[in-house]
Structure 1
Amino acid sequence: MRDLKLDFQVLTPLFLGDAEQSAELRAPAFKGLLRHWYRAASPDDINKEACLFGGTSNAEGQSPFLLRVESVSIRTAGWADFRAAQFNQGSGRNTRNGLVYLGYPFQMKGNETRTAIAPGQAFVLRCTYLRDVAQEQGRALLAAAWLFAHLGGAGTRSRRGFGSLSLRSWNAEDWPDAAQLPLLTEAKSAEEGRAMIQSGIDTIRSWFKPVENVNQQRTQAPHLGPEFRFKLLDKPYPAEQWNRALAEMGAGMQAFRLRRPPDYQMVKDHLQGRPLQTTPPRATFGLPLSFRYTSQRGQVTLAPLDAERHGSLLLLRLLRIGARLYPLYVRMDGAVPGVDPPAALLKASRGLRRTEHNVMDEFFDSL
């Protein structure tokens, strides 16, 4: 047997829990996240995925490794502890708050008792291999862990900055390929961090089949194809000011999207009797998407045709470099919401025409 030990620290509140929404570090959730990031690294034939993470058919069987979460104790916090009101901008009906915007729906009525694992919490993921594995499988787990730790997050609203983690160290003695993947906690500056991220991505791409050659159906999910890119901003924040960092990231996104033409008028016209024919460009940020107007009765909700949701390809998170936190924006490759597959009015049987404007990319390019 050999272990892969991942030493993590929570950077932003991690809303991960049981059925009662009480904060809990759950091994099945982390294994699912590793599977997700393996798909991003190697979106090819599903049989290889099952060889690493297990499957339900007779030919697949059990995963070759066990995953355990180790933590001495768990410190929790609730939404009220994050002092979101200090980031309010404006007043009354025009109040805007970037932390509330990214943290929807944590502040809503009914979530008062919901708890998160607090920033600063440390824990270990230990992956224990039960049998010998080929180099390809070892690299698959390393790639999934590295991508999850540096690009992704865990729990509710992890695409919008909550559940950001820092991989402080991993035991690489039995994993020689791990030396090819840099840990961002060892960077000394944002510039060095950007170089390390690119180096890690290049290494992982070299380990697996190029995305252009794989099954098109599998590439609908987020992956590291040609459209993948990232931006690590130069503005640092003290670790204890994670809430200010997210508030400023959220305020920037909210200002970009607020009443952005032509979405606002397109949907308002729909409520006034001129049916919507084309997907509003804002759908490219992710679906479902709801529009509400104080001057109009009713609500308009868009969703993917024949599906409940289509997650955003744009990921926001905080990355720890030294003692500071830096904003990281990641644009994954994959099917763009509202473009492929098309969007539709909620519960409608017919899709809308695809949007011609990818405002998600416009926002990314504006950073």
Structure 2
Amino acid sequence: MVMRKLPRGEGGGELLPPPVQPQLNRRVIGGKVVPLVTQVRSYELITPLFGGGVEPGETDPVTIIRGPAIRGQLRFWWRACRGGRFNGDLAAMKDAEDKLWGAASTERKSMPSQVQITVEVTNRGWEEQPFERRARPSSGWRDLAYAAFPLQGKDEEAPGKVRVGVTFTLLLTYPKSQQEEIQAEIEAALWAWETFGGIGARTRRGFGALKLVSVDGRPVTPPGVDEVEAKIHEGLQKHVVSGTWPAGVPHLCLNPRMKVTGRYSDPKAAWEYLVKCIRDFRQSRPGASPRQPGRSRWPEPDEIRRLTDCRCDRHAKPLSTVRKFPRAAFGLPIVFHFKDEKIGDPYDTILQGRDYERLASPLILRPLACADGAVGLAVILEGTGVAVLPDGLILRKKEEADISWPVEATIEAHEAQKIPPLDGIPDVLQAFLKEL
């Protein structure tokens, strides 16, 4: 796909499309004039926007923030909050979702959304390049490089860019006649999206984090640092239903596994802390230094050496006797690269589901802006993770997909005692929360 270019005016400058001016108080539906409820919500992004355009991972030069992308986010968070009331019935949940947020219409069935979404970008911000050539972090990105690694660029490919300082307005309209029926549903999706979600790619690692600035022109003051956790629990009690979600549907619960950090001066500082914590936890190495990174204290490297029967002399003695891949808990796929491949260590391998290559991380990390600074938030979504993969995991050779081995990720209590980063806790994500 070729990235769209902005049209040029007579003087050579970029021409932006005029803002959409929707009818705010009524809409014609089925030949009838229907009164509408309208709400205008203004946002700023407190972390950079990663992608967000029509091409994955790239910022669109015309539509920085797209209405369909926001609709997709609201659908996801609606399911995360309200999907429990369908007693595990996926079809019933999907039907209710389509009635609210819309679906592709057919000749027999029209499924327009009851909620119309219009986006106006009020500040396009500016571009930043997190990495220089050869994957060296740019100024101001050293502590965030771990979260931004997909932007490094490969070989002669130029490093990717993000957009900083973006603000936008979201206009929501829906039929007034159905206000009582659907307002609570919309409010739940908005609250969860604003609290846990974001815009663009890699929102689960903090990119595109939102701050609600105003509603219908009235400024919104965020809670203070000491109030954040209580406010989140208040929102969970109000918006999350108790019940049974369909299998494999990521969702919130009334008492989630969650951690809120202490106060930081601004959202970037809180985000840097979260990224540093997950980097240090996932890359746990004793006595590591830039020149001598040391060997991992996780079991995966030694197990890959066993499976591939590749081991350089300096790694002849294994450090781990656990034959599992616990870091799959953070999401898939995982690419394992050994720097000593040329002297005997294994070739590149990929850890993935047997039938599903990708699995989104259940762990969400993001900063939250407060009235008196900022905090970092970590929350674990339920109903997702490696445990829901129907046919388990495989480790396969990167260059030859037909060479693979079945592997396991779930850690038993006695195995957790042998993996130093877990400190005896078999739940990998819970062990991480303990480190925050």
TM-score tier by shorter-chain length is: 0.7 to 0.9
Give the 3-state SS of the residue equivalent to 2:356 in structure 1: coil
- Aligned ranges for residues 130-279 of structure 1 at < 5 Å? 130=175, 132-133=177-178, 135-171=180-216, 185-188=221-224, 190-205=225-240, 208=241, 210-212=242-244, 214-215=245-246, 217=247, 220-225=248-253, 228-239=256-267, 242=268, 244-258=269-283, 259-272=296-309, 279=324
Is contact 2:130-2:138 (8 Å) kept? no
Matched residue SS, 1:231: strand
Distance (whole Å) between structure 2 residues aligned to residue 246 and residue 224 of structure 1: 22
Unaligned runs of 5+ in 1: 89-96, 174-182
Distance 1:336 1:26 in 2: 28
1-structure distance, mates of 2:149, 2:387: 21
Query: What residue is the counterpart of 2:46 in the other structure?
Result: 11
Structure 2 Cα separation of the partners of residues 172 and 335 of structure 1 = 38
Q: Are the counterparts in 1 of residues 305 and 346 from structure 2 also a CA contact under 8 Å?
A: no
Contact (CA 8 Å) 2:366, 2:376: kept in 1 or not?
A: yes
Partner in structure 2 of residue 178 of structure 1 = none
Amino acid aligned to 1:187: P
- Please give the residue correspondences for 1:314-353 in structure 2 after superposition, counting only pairs within 5 Å: 314-322=363-371, 324-337=373-386, 340-341=389-390, 342-346=392-396, 347=401, 351-353=406-408
> Match of 2:73, as an amino acid?
L
The answer to which of 1-10 and 125-134 deviates more is: 125-134
Q: Could you say which residue in structure 1 is the equivalent of 2:338?
A: 293
The one-letter amino acid of 2:53's match is G
Where does residue 65 of structure 1 map in the other structure? Answer: 115
Report if the CA contact (8 A) 1:98-1:254 is conserved: no
Look up the SS of the partner of 2:433 in the other structure.
helix
Amino acid at match of 1:36: F
Give the 3 Å change call, closer, same or farther, for CA 71–281 of structure 1 in structure 2: same
Distance 1:127 1:330 in 2: 28
1:113 Cα deviation (Å)? 6.7
Q: Is the 8 A contact 2:326 2:428 kept in 1?
A: yes
Distance apart, 1:278 and its partner CA:
5.8
Taking every aligned residue pair, what percent have the same amino acid on both sides?
27
Amino acid at match of 2:273: E
> 1:86/1:235 Cα in 2 relative to 1: closer, same or farther (>3 Å)?
farther
Counterpart residue type for residue 272 of structure 1: D
The change in CA–CA distance for 1:311 and 1:164 in structure 2 (over 3 A counts) is same
Are the aligned partners of 2:260 and 2:375 in contact in 1 as well (CA < 8 Å)? yes
- Provide the aligned C-alpha RMSD in A: 3.0
User: Is the Cα–Cα contact under 8 Å of residues 369 and 375 in structure 2 kept in the other structure?
Assistant: yes
Greater gyration radius = 2
Q: Distance in 2 between matches of 1:246 and 1:148?
A: 18
- 1:59 Cα deviation from its structure 2 partner: 4.0
* 8 A contact 1:311–1:337 mirrored in 2: no
Question: Is 1:32 equivalent to 2:78 in the alignment?
Answer: no
Shift of residue 32, structure 1, vs aligned partner: 0.4
SS at match of 1:200: helix
Q: 1:304: how far off? A: 1.7
Give, in whole Å, the separation in 2 of the partners of 1:278 and 1:75. Answer: 48
Q: How many residues align?
A: 336
Structure 2 equivalent of residue 123 of structure 1:
168
Please give the per-residue CA displacement for 1:156-196, whole angstroms capped at 9, x wherever unaligned: 111101111101232499xxxxxxxxx7x4312x2211111
1:4–1:172 contact (8 Å) kept in structure 2: no
C-alpha separation in 2, matches of 1:270 and 1:227: 40
- The amino acid that maps onto 1:344 is I
Matching residue of 2:291: none
SS of the equivalent of 1:4 reads strand
Deviation, structure 1 residue 250: 1.6
Structure in which a larger fraction of residues adopt helix: 1
Structure 1 window deviating more from structure 2 (37-46 vs 76-85): it is: 76-85
